[in-house]
């Protein structure tokens, strides 16, 4: 017997739309399957078998959402990229511990389940999982009429990774003279959008205005630029970890340089960064100019063009840069570790 409830549909929830969403998304989910996946879609839980070869495996988890960047998705009616952001915000945190992401689950809450839209969102989630080498083994779509507007949704998820216990990245081996490398960002990523929306009045502009080319952005529209997906650093960093001693990794998210770089630095040491070395992206200059925002606040809110920082021994700098560049990441030297009571100094 087919599952169907006329009363529930009259209340605003069409459960058959949920079944249709699952059917549409299966083609994307299938692209993420890895050797450890035990279950398929449709069960009450996602099953994943831990890989062999670990002596003392430690599981590492991370969870996050996309935040108010979704307002750009609503405005431009583009739904297939924000899923990449959702995955990125989780797996980029997990990799900071040196952990390889194993699997991912998403959660989509919406005012009305439009199967084609849900499938487009999951298409992006799957694309992010492929970039991270992670399996998408489950998720949840919640139709919540009266709670969310019909054409809006929220998106969150979580990742679980694995690392050998004695290979967990911590800061115990860090010392003065170590080098800080910058891994460039693709743009604003998924943080600071409440300020972005205020600066550009996103909640009140039209789609046409959002798509209008801007010379300062190289002819790209504001909407396209801001909706650029978050960079996923998993595979380049895993490649680096195989060949170089990495002493600390910071994912530059909300709170910018000031909040995130110090998180990977032990007491008694500090990061000394020369601001002239930071390859600031045009979108950040535009945000600062339009919003009249201080440089201090910019570096305490945005990644400014640096999505991740990695600390390596000075003697490994050239090798680390070569490995990252071979992986498609144009990394560069950002600063160095010094003896300091200040965790961060921007010079």
Q: Quick one: pLDDT at residue 59? A: 98
For the entire predicted model, the pTM comes to 0.95
Q: What are the per-10-residue average pLDDT scores of the chain (347 residues)? A: 69 78 89 89 86 97 98 97 98 98 98 96 98 96 95 97 96 96 98 97 97 97 98 98 98 97 96 96 98 98 98 98 98 98 95
Q: Residue length, the chain? A: 347
Q: How far apart are CA 177 and CA 271, in angstroms?
A: 10
DSSP state of 300: T
Structural contact between residues 50 and 57, judged by C-beta atoms closer than 8 angstroms: yes
3-class DSSP state for residue 101?
strand
Contacts of 244 (CB under 8 A, 6+ apart): 312, 316, 319, 320, 323
Q: How far apart are CA 137 and CA 125, in angstroms?
A: 11
Q: Quick one: pLDDT at residue 8? A: 66
Q: How far apart are CA 217 and CA 189, in angstroms?
A: 16
Structural contact between residues 226 and 196, judged by C-beta atoms closer than 8 angstroms: yes
Q: Quick one: pLDDT at residue 2? A: 65
7 sits in which H/E element: helix 6-10
Structural contact between residues 287 and 225, judged by C-beta atoms closer than 8 angstroms: no
Q: Quick one: pLDDT at residue 208? A: 97
3-class DSSP state for residue 317?
helix
Q: Quick one: pLDDT at residue 100? A: 98
Q: How far apart are CA 310 and CA 325, in angstroms?
A: 14
Go through the domains of the chain in sequence order and give each one's CATH number.
6-167 (3.30.1330.10), 179-346 (3.90.650.10)
Contacts of 183 (CB under 8 A, 6+ apart): 231, 233, 236, 237, 306, 307, 308, 309, 310, 324, 329, 331
Nearest Cα residue to 45 out of 103, 94, 120: 103
Q: Quick one: pLDDT at residue 17? A: 81
Q: Quick one: pLDDT at residue 342? A: 95
Token representation of residue 238:
């895993």
Q: Quick one: pLDDT at residue 108? A: 98
Nearest Cα residue to 62 out of 118, 103, 31: 103
Nearest Cα residue to 161 out of 92, 213, 215: 92
Structural contact between residues 279 and 187, judged by C-beta atoms closer than 8 angstroms: no
What would the DSSP string read from start to end of 9-38?
A: HHTT--HHHHHHHHHHHHHHHGGG--TTB-
SS3 per-residue string spanning 207-261: HHHHHCECHHHCCCEHHHHHCCCCCCCHHHHHHHHHHCCCCEEEECCCCHHHHHH
């Amino acid at each position: 017997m087919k599952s169907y409830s006329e009363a529930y549909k009259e209340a605003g929830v069409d459960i058959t739309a949920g079944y249709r969403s699952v059917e549409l998304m299966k083609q994307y989910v299938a692209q993420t399957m890895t050797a450890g996946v035990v279950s398929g879609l449709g069960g009450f839980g996602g099953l994943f078998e831990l890989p062999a070869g670990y002596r003392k495996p430690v599981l590492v988890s991370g969870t996050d959402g996309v935040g108010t960047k979704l307002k750009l998705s609503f405005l431009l009616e583009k739904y297939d990229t924000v899923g990449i952001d959702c995955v990125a915000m989780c797996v980029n945190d997990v990799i900071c511990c040196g952990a390889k992401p194993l699997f991912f689950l998403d959660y989509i809450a919406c005012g009305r389940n439009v199967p084609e839209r849900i499938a487009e969102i999951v298409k992006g989630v799957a694309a992010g999982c492929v970039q991270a080498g992670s399996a998408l083994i489950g998720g949840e779509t919640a139709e919540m009429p009266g709670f969310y507007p019909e054409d809006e949704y929220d998106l969150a998820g979580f990742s679980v990774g694995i690392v050998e216990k004695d290979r967990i990245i911590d800061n115990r081996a860090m010392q003065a003279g170590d080098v800080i490398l910058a891994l460039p960002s693709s743009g604003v990523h998924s943080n600071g959008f409440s300020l972005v929306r205020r600066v550009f009045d996103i909640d009140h502009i039209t789609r046409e205005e959002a798509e209008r080319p801007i010379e300062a952005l190289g002819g790209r529209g504001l909407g396209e630029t801001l909706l650029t997906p978050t960079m996923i650093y998993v595979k380049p960093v895993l490649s680096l970890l195989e060949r170089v001693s990495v002493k600390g990794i910071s994912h530059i998210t909300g709170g910018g340089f000031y909040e995130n770089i110090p998180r990977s630095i032990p007491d008694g040491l500090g990061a000394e960064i020369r601001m002239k070395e930071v390859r600031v992206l045009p979108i950040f200059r535009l945000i600062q100019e339009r919003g009249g925002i201080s440089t201090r606040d910019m570096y305490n809110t945005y990644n400014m063009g640096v999505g991740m920082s990695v600390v390596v021994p000075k003697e490994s700098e050239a090798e680390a840069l070569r490995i990252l560049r071979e992986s498609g990441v144009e990394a560069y030297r950002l600063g160095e570790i010094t003896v300091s009571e200040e965790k961060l100094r921007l010079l």
